[in-house]
C-alpha cells in the first residue's frame, strides 16, 4: 500500500503562487503619500494583493516570503513594477508635478547586473518617467551590498528614486551607510512613539536626524492620528502615509484622490 504524502501548507501556497499570474489573481492597491503640513497628495505606494480562490484576499506578508524562498519573487516583482508604472503613467498631474509611485523590491531582486536595464526597459514601455518611480528596498542587503549598490546606481543615474523601507527595523544602519538613497521610510514603531514622552520619542528623533545626515528625505509610515502627523512635520519629516489620511485604494479611488489634491482630516 503506497504511503500517503502529506503536503505542507507552504508547499500548497507555492504551488498556487506558480499559477496565480497566469490566472490573473493579483491586484494592486495604492496608499496615498502626502506632504505633511498641508496633506497635499504627492503619490502613492503600490501594494500587491492576492485574490486567492480558496483563502480569500491575502496581504503581501502572507505570501511574498514564500514566493522569495521558492524563487518566484522575480516574476511577481516584474508584474508589480509593470502594472504600477502603467497605472501611474495615466494619473492626473498634481499641480505642476507628476505623482510618484513607490514599488517594493526585495534585495534579492537587485543582485544580477542585468536587472537595472530590464527594469528601465519596463518603465520606458509603460510611459512613466523614471523620475516618477521610487523603488522601496525591503530587508537588509547583507553580503550582496556591492552588487545591489551597482544596480541602484544605474537606476538612480536614469532618474529612478530609491528608498529604504521600514528603516530602524527591516533595514539597518549599515544599509544607510553603504547605499545612496533618496528617501528613508520610518518604521511604524518610530511613528507611534514620535508624540510620546521624551525618553521614548528620542529614538524617533534620532532616526529622522540620521536620514537628514545622509541627505535623504524622511517618509513616515503608519500615521494614525493628527498628533503624530503634526509632531512629525514639526520635526522636519516632509512626507507621510497611513490610515489617518487614507487606507489603500483601488486604481479608480486613487485617481479621485489625486484630482482632489489633498487629504485633510
pLDDT value of residue 140? 81
Predicted pLDDT of residue 5: 31
Looking at residue 251, what is its pLDDT? 94
For the chain, what's the residue count? 265
pTM attached to this predicted model: 0.92
Residue 121 has pLDDT above 80, yes or no: yes
pLDDT above 50 (res 243): yes
Cα separation, 181 vs 141, whole angstroms: 13
Least confident piece of the model among 4-13, 149-158, 217-226: 4-13
pLDDT of residue 171: 61
Q: If you average pLDDT over residues 126-130, what whole number do you get?
A: 96
Of the chain, the percentage scoring pLDDT greater than 70 comes to 94
- Contacts with 35 (C-beta within 8 Å, 6 or more apart), sequence order: 42, 238, 239
> What average pLDDT does this structure show over 17-23?
90
Pairing, β 239-240 against β 217-220: parallel
Q: Which of 41, 53, 80, 87 is nearest to 64 (CA)?
A: 80
pLDDT, mean of residues 36-59: 93
pLDDT greater than 70 at residue 2 = no
CA–CA separation, 189 and 95 (whole Å): 33
Q: What is the mean pLDDT of residues 120-138?
A: 96
- Packing angle of the helix pair 73-89, 115-126 (nearest 10 deg): 30
Domains of the chain listed by start with CATH number = 11-254 (3.20.20.450)
Classify residue 107 by its DSSP letter: G
Instruction: Tell me the average pLDDT across 173-202.
Output: 83
**Cβ pair 50, 25 in contact under 8 A:** yes
Segment 230-252 mean pLDDT: 94
Does pLDDT of 59 surpass 60?
Answer: yes
Where b means 16+ CB within 10 Å and e means fewer, 222-245 reads: bbeeeebbebbbebebbbbbbebb
Report the C-alpha gap between 239 and 102 in whole angstroms: 13
| Average pLDDT estimate for 47-76 | 91
Segment among 112-126, 204-218, 239-253 with least mean pLDDT: 204-218
pLDDT tier at 93 (50, 70, 90 boundaries)?
confident
Better pLDDT: 93 or 46: 46
Integer Cα distance of 40 and 264 in angstroms: 8
DSSP codes joined into one string, 48-73:
EEEEETTTEEE-HHHHHHHHHHTT-H
The residues, any chain, with a CB within 8 Å of residue 244's CB and separated by 6 or more, are: 223, 224, 225, 226, 228, 229, 265
Backbone angles phi, psi at 57, to 5 degrees: -80, 125
- pLDDT surpassing 80 at residue 213: yes
DSSP-assigned letters across all residues of 192-227:
HHTTS-HHHHHHHHHHHHHHHHTT-EEEE----SHH
Q: Give the whole-angstrom CA distance, residue 20 versus residue 179.
A: 34
Mean of all residue pLDDT scores within the chain = 89
**Which residue in the block uniquely carries the three cell numbers 544596480?**
151
pLDDT of residue 265: 62
User: Is the pLDDT reported for residue 137 higher than 50?
Assistant: yes
Q: What are the tens digits of pLDDT across the range 65-92?
A: 888 888 899 999 999 999 999 999 999 9
With a cut of 70, say whether residue 170 has pLDDT above it: no
Amino acid at each position: 500500500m503506497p504511503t500517503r504524502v502529506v503536503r505542507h501548507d507552504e508547499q500548497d501556497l507555492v504551488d498556487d503562487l506558480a499559477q496565480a499570474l497566469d490566472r490573473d489573481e493579483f491586484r494592486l492597491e495604492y496608499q496615498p503619500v502626502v506632504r505633511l503640513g498641508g496633506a497635499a497628495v504627492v503619490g502613492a505606494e503600490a501594494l500587491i494583493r492576492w485574490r486567492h480562490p480558496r483563502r480569500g484576499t491575502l496581504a503581501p506578508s502572507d505570501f511574498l516570503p514564500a514566493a522569495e524562498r521558492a524563487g518566484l519573487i522575480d516574476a511577481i516583482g516584474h508584474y508589480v513594477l509593470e502594472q504600477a508604472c502603467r497605472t501611474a503613467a495615466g494619473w492626473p498631474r498634481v499641480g505642476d508635478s507628476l505623482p510618484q509611485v513607490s514599488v517594493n523590491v526585495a534585495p534579492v531582486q537587485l543582485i544580477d547586473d542585468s536587472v537595472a536595464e530590464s527594469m528601465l526597459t519596463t518603465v520606458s514601455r509603460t510611459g512613466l518617467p523614471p523620475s516618477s518611480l521610487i523603488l522601496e528596498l525591503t530587508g537588509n542587503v547583507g553580503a550582496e551590498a556591492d552588487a545591489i549598490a551597482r544596480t541602484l546606481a544605474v537606476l538612480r543615474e536614469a532618474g529612478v528614486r530609491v528608498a529604504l523601507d521600514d528603516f530602524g527595523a527591516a533595514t539597518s544602519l549599515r544599509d544607510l551607510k553603504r547605499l545612496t538613497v533618496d528617501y528613508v521610510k520610518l518604521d511604524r514603531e518610530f511613528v507611534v512613539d514620535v508624540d510620546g514622552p521624551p525618553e521614548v520619542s528620542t529614538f524617533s528623533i534620532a532616526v529622522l536626524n540620521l536620514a537628514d545626515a545622509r541627505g535623504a528625505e524622511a517618509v513616515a509610515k503608519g500615521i494614525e492620528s493628527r498628533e503624530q502627523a503634526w509632531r512629525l512635520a514639526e520635526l522636519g519629516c516632509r512626507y507621510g502615509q497611513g490610515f489617518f489620511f487614507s487606507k489603500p485604494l483601488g486604481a479608480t479611488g486613487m485617481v479621485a484622490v489625486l484630482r482632489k489634491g489633498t487629504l485633510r482630516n
